[in-house]
Structure 1
């Protein structure tokens, strides 16, 4: 790395990660900086990140992207949450919905009131008190309710499903309009500075060479810069997240145009369904120790809700992360940084948060070791807390008698997850740590949805008794049902956006 100012940023690889980085850097860095992205059309991208979480709004809005143009360009639909079907036990389903559940009273979170009520035989399932879940179950979406600015969903917290390849193309156009240069070529070698060990240049297509001051590795699982060149080790999490294979296939759009993602438990893993405007995205995540690739493909194809549009595309992975996300003058994003299976739709969020953190610690002339260390610490914390949340789904399953699920239920889990679960099991208490993605409400939905109920509730919940508590729950439920019934259907809401 040169001793002068950091002005030449080179992004190795495209796809969603590369073009998200290019779009953000092109938008926020001024003319003093030169941003170059190197990619090859001959190298395919994984593109499994079609479902998102609400934080995607922060990224799109920071770039000034018009939501209507985005929805039209990426074949996007709306997402109110994720339904988990068969995880707790067969024929059971629950939803991790976005937004609040119920309404606490004073200092008492709602889930304590709900737990007290259920212990007395009162109330309905926990999800009945979520407006997002109520609307999702009815296939409704509140774009037209309550006014508000164009593109808003009043009273609902939402994310998107979209075609990841179309999103990358959309961001490419945006980035190039903001001065980012794209170079076509296959990277063949990484040249390092003999004195510092930092990356000096990328060499490709014979004699071509691109120098840089700061490099961003978006080369996928290979991690050509961060791993192969700089030696950042890969930390394997397969002991608590044993799935290591996936198959992805699109099918014709279903009549059931759901405003939520589906995660359906299968004998050796789970299947996703993601509704888009033009098709449905499907995939089967599984562990090859419990099923063969052919059996996994047969399970996937037998459970599509439309005609397949292609052959299943295989993907092999090991869940885990880099020991260092930022090493020398290289920052890893996307699959080069690690792999988190898409159970909670966090793949693109981790790219987004990595970009935001890079901008926070962006160097002037050389990388301060303390800044790099803090970047790595905060990034590791975020990855590990998301890991714990995903591990919970497997650990708390109730599919007794199936080898894969029995093994997951009996496996050891990270200490940080145990520390989260112990106070919950005892008294329903949850604590959200700094930089932790998922809220207390998100944890409560999954815990309750998978029958991990606290033994007790907060003593202040005892101030609301019997008929008063039952009436309070009924008033919440009735209000959400009325509000959802007044909303247009998901299909109507998408048509309104595309036509506007």
Structure 2
């Protein structure tokens, strides 16, 4: 939805003073990105209060984070030690297709495509002829996840992300940001002050004016030219001061509550996130070096807090380290995320549940996109409109991918799952589902987060059986097809057998070796390439 940041007669103010309202993961990721790339040109201040807690449960990431860390020049081993991180190769979806049926959505590439058709067509042909094993057997990352193994491989041979402690990550980025000149201001925001009318004689409502300053509870005023709203779901600037509306997606995504807690580790950390379906939602388990992050995401229309909490406490291991914390949310997005001289990033701009670990990615994309389109000489409506359009499209594609998990299922054991199977989905998702079901074809929209392989893994995993495959696959005879599939599977198994256990590798590599380490992965480790930037 287009928006104009300033009336035609309003002055265009150069942007030199950037004020970030709120800390946490969102605030400090933005501060780190802007200070590292543009810090010498800007005065950046971040306002946060130690009295206000953060959500702090977005502890699973996707491979795009490596790009962000490469941009910031982050030492991977130092980062892992500081955030108690482990490696992540994908997500194990347990009971999503049906009770007792599991699959993994991995970060890898499955098989080898032909220029005429994707690998899935040859695999489908192989399944028809009794020549192919499970689809995941042709993906290195998926098989390594199943075997609890990991290592950096030459030439970016293993796609991966991290599990991390979000609170420690925010503190780590704070140190980095302050090293690049960001000033942290302690205090609670009491009011958002707007500029006076623009002098044109028009009576401009406050919500259609630029923000002038933040007034803190002690009376201090923090003035700025550009304001970044990282105040979480309160959205004090974008939502409250500027009155930007909110698009509610709960008719597609019914879960509106979460309960989170932490437990002590009692077993080796696995290199994947666990997502365990329940009759009213799902449960996560995220293994770190020092503890496990746990929680449930649930629909308050289908269960209550006590039932969800009891289920959570009954499905964890290890000493409970923190008191269960209830979080309320509304899935959806703001009508626009940039209005006038304010940009909402993180929960202030919208929320999608953490099913596919996209929260930190969306913060990262927002920060990088803002850096790429930074309005040095003044805010222009063309930049604002393009930024809003790109962010809206990206969020809608991720929304469709998450809806896929809920809608395409064989579960009928509870009202929630029966309702989700029967619901009408967005037309954009319906087309993808019909195309894959009828032809086994997939497509990727330009700049979309999730790759074709991600869509295929989840659609197959959730139970879609394509009706046909591409005729190119028919050009292979049984002997050739068997050799093609068998050689590929054997190469993957040979590599997996040589990998160390994930736990052993993390203890050696990720437990911290000091700040004198090189700022790039060790010899043989992957560099950030197109495969890592795009794969999810």
Other structure's SS at 2:41 match? coil
Once the two structures are overlaid, the 10-residue window that deviates more, 470-479 or 331-340, is 470-479
Quick one: distance in 1 between partners of 2:101 and 2:151?
27
- Give the distance between the partners of 1:158 and 1:237, measured in 2 at CA: 30
Distance in 1 separating the partners of 2:289 and 2:473: 45
Does residue 354 of structure 1 match 2:366? yes
SS of equivalent residue, structure 1 residue 88: strand
Instruction: Render the CA deviation track for 1:333-366: whole Å, top value 9, x for unaligned.
Output: 0100100100000000000000111112111232
Q: Does 1:266 align with 2:278?
A: yes
Residues 387-442 of structure 1, C-alpha deviations (whole Å, 9 max, x = no match): 00000000012112311111111111111101212211110111111121101010
Cα 1:282–1:179 shift into 2, 3 Å:
same
How far apart are the structure 2 equivalents of 1:141 and 1:54? Answer: 15
Q: Which runs of 4+ in 1 moved over 3 A?
A: 1-4
Distance 2:493 2:348 in 1: 44
**Hey, what does 1:216 align to over in structure 2?**
228
Structure 1 pair 190–499 and aligned structure 2 pair: CA distance change class (3 A):
closer
Q: CA deviation at 1:499?
A: 4.8
Could you tell me which residue of structure 2 aligns to residue 32 of structure 1? 41
Distance 1:220 1:61 in 2: 26
Are 2:89 and 1:80 aligned?
A: yes
Partner residue in 1 for 2:124: 115
In structure 2, the partner of 1:206 is 218
Structure 1 position 310 matched with structure 2 position 319 = no
- Measured in 2, the distance between the counterparts of 1:51 and 1:462 equals 41
The aligned residue for residue 332 of structure 2 is 320
1:454 deviates by: 1.3
Aligned equivalents of 1:207, 1:43: Cα separation in 2: 18
Cα shift at 1:120: 2.5
Q: State which drifts further: 360-369 or 85-94.
A: 360-369
Of 11, 23, 34 in structure 1, the residue corresponding to residue 20 of structure 2 is 11
Contact 1:247/1:283 (<8 A) preserved: yes
What is the SS of the residue equivalent to 1:259?
coil
- Are 1:381 and 1:435, in contact at CA under 8 Å, matched by a contact in 2? no
Kept after mapping to 2: 8 A contact 1:122/1:470: yes
CA distance in 2, matches of 1:466, 1:455: 20
1:63: which partner in 2?
A: 72
Q: Which of 325, 340, 345 is 2:357 aligned to?
A: 345
User: How many equivalent residue pairs?
Assistant: 493
Look up the match of 1:170: 172
- Please report how far the alpha carbon of residue 105 of structure 1 lies from its aligned counterpart in structure 2 after TM superposition: 3.4
The corresponding residue for 1:295 is 307
Alignment correspondent of 1:151: none
Compared with structure 1, are the counterparts of its residues 80 and 17 closer, same or farther at alpha carbon in structure 2 (3 Å cutoff)? same
Match of 2:423 among 411, 414, 422: 411
1:23 maps onto 2:32 in alignment = yes
| Secondary structure at 2:425 match in 1 | coil
For 1:70-469, list aligned pairs within 5 A: 70-143=79-152, 146=154, 154-196=156-198, 197-469=209-481
Match of 1:31, SS?
Answer: helix
Query: Which of residues 468, 480, 484 in structure 1 aligns to 2:492?
Result: 480
How far did residue 2 of structure 1 move?
6.7
Shift of 1:311: 2.2
Structure 2's unaligned 5+ residue stretches are 1-9, 199-208, 514-536
SS state at 1:86 partner: strand
TM-score, with length taken from structure 2: 0.90
What secondary structure sits across from 1:29 in the alignment?
helix
Deviation at 1:470, TM superposition (A): 2.2
- Conserved in 1, the CA contact under 8 Å of 2:33 and 2:371? no
Residue 4 of structure 2 corresponds to none
Instruction: State which drifts further: 156-165 or 193-202.
Output: 193-202
**Structure 1: any 5+ residue segments left out of the alignment?**
149-153
Residues in 1 aligned to 2:512 and 2:470: alpha-carbon distance in whole angstroms: 49
User: Which residue is equivalent to 2:52?
Assistant: 43
Deviation at 1:293, TM superposition (A): 0.5
On the 8 A contact 2:145/2:270 being kept in 1, the answer is: yes
Shift of 1:256: 4.0
Conserved 8 A contact 2:86-2:269:
no
Q: Structure 1 residues 382 and 496 mapped into 2: Cα distance closer, same or farther (>3 Å)?
A: same
Distance 1:374 1:499, change over 3 A: closer
Cα deviation code 1:56-101 (max 9, x no counterpart): 0111110111001000000000000111000001111111100200
Q: Which moved more, 1:129-138 or 1:385-394?
A: 129-138
Give how far 1:310 is off.
2.0
The 8 Å contact of residues 232 and 323 in structure 1, kept in 2 or not, is answered as yes
Q: Out of 299-308 and 331-340, give the one that drifted further.
A: 299-308
Distance 1:254 1:120, change over 3 A: farther
How far the C-alpha of 1:326 sits from its partner, in A, is 0.2
Whether the 8 Å CA contact 1:2–1:213 is kept in 2: the answer is no
CA distance in 2, matches of 1:32, 1:428: 50
Shift of 1:3: 4.2
- For the 8 Å contact 1:142–1:484, the answer to whether it is kept is no
- Structural RMSD (CA): 1.3
Counterpart residue number, 1:53: 62
Match of 1:471 in 2: 483
